[in-house]
Amino acid sequence: MTSKTNHLWGGRFNEPTDEFVKIFGASVAFDKTLALYDIEGSIAHATMLMEAKVLTSDELKKILKGLEQVKQEIISGEFTWSVDLEDVHMNIESRLTEICGEPGKKLHTGRSRNDQVATDIRLYLRDNVQRIQNELQKLLHALLDLAEQENETIMPGFTHLQAAQPISFGHHLLAYFEMFKRDKERLEDSFKRINTMPLGSAALAGTSYPINRERTAELLGFERISLNSLDAVSDRDFAIEFASNASLIMMHLSRFSEELILWSSAQFEFIALPDSFCTGSSIMPQKKNPDVPELVRGKTGRVNGNLIALLTLMKGQPLAYNKDNQEDKEPLFDSVETIYSCLHVFSEMMPTIKANKDNMYQSAIKGYTTATDLADYLVKKGLAFRDAHDVVGKAVAFGIKENKDLSEFTLNELKEFDTSIENDVFEVISLEGSIQSRNHIGGTSPEQILIAIKAGRKAIK
């Protein structure tokens, strides 16, 4: 072995790695994100090796002291990362050996970088799923608070982006609450698959050393242990599942962003976003651009792309570990940070949204949004629904011609379309009457919205 070969794995090689190949194959530029998790795993592994009498207690003390020094150097920024040492694991092990000598060389006993990195990623994702859950929780609370505040604010509900029926703004916000609640539930369910320990699988077949995997799992807080060493080192399903969940979260944020962008435009003016979440134009002094929701909408593409990247990465790999898996970290890290930042900015922005109640109300009137209510009224008077539908369609056509909403018709005008219509119809075809009538579970009546908000608070407590 020459000094030109990597001293951690160079025994087999007679010539140094090509300089470009060295840079091309190195992952330390991005996998150093896992450094503290790598040290955490090494502490548990070394402790288990001492208890299994593979290390002496004195060797363990030196290793733990050395790892603590490495940890502090990394945290303070004093640690020197080397491309020559390829990845985070070899950088840390090399520095540990410099600090504590021979015991540092023994740390890798009974493990491989294959099960080591798989463990590091799970520790990283375990922490970050909890961090993302916290932001989801904040957003869910913010949505409930705003929905309660806007419980009786009437707006048009849309299908095909056409005014359809009147709804409460609070009801509309609760639709997003349901989406993000499902996102939170999916992350919670995936946690048990993330929190499975592969350490002890070594390169692919396990190890001949007398290791105690249950003890290592206990030290690292893993709920379960992987049951097949081949699968354990090559499994990235848990990362793909997270990436899929992340794509769903971003899809929901993107839909919400699209509505905020529309609603804050001069053409809608349903809401006002605060200046602190918007920017201006370098040339048009009147502009106030909804940059936050636009950026969130735009970032959805990269998170979706990360999911496809991970699926494509894994689709052609034979068992067990392959160098391809070096490519799993950057898309995963990017999705984690993108999701976190988007949820954080949304949860901060939500309480600042101001509803323009009058514009919402007037927009609901313009779209003949109580037409279905009039049809339902006629059905209760004895008409078949299809006949009622035809009658109301003709009434709407008349209203368009006369530029009058249904609620502005006189009783005599309404009777021209059906003689069964009585004075009580005006309770039905008003916006307030329409939303009040939908007083059932999942409906838009203010009473049901308050019930839903109470249930929502209980569900996420």
Active site residues per annotation: 160, 281
Strand pairing report for 224-225 and 162-168: unpaired
CA distance 155 to 355: 10
Query: Considering only CA atoms, which of 379, 382, 375 is closest in space to residue 434?
Result: 375
Radius of gyration of the chain (CA): 31
Which amino acid would we find at residue 205? A
C-alpha distances (whole Å) from 106 to each of 56, 71, 101, 204, 372 are: 11, 19, 10, 20, 76
CB 198 within 8 A of CB 226: yes
Burial class (CB in 10 A: 0-12, 13-18, 19+), 227: exposed
CA distance 385 to 379: 6
Strand partners, 163: 158
Structure tokens belonging to residue 97 = 């050996």
C-alpha distances (whole Å) from 21 to each of 84, 85, 91, 213, 414 are: 11, 13, 18, 36, 82
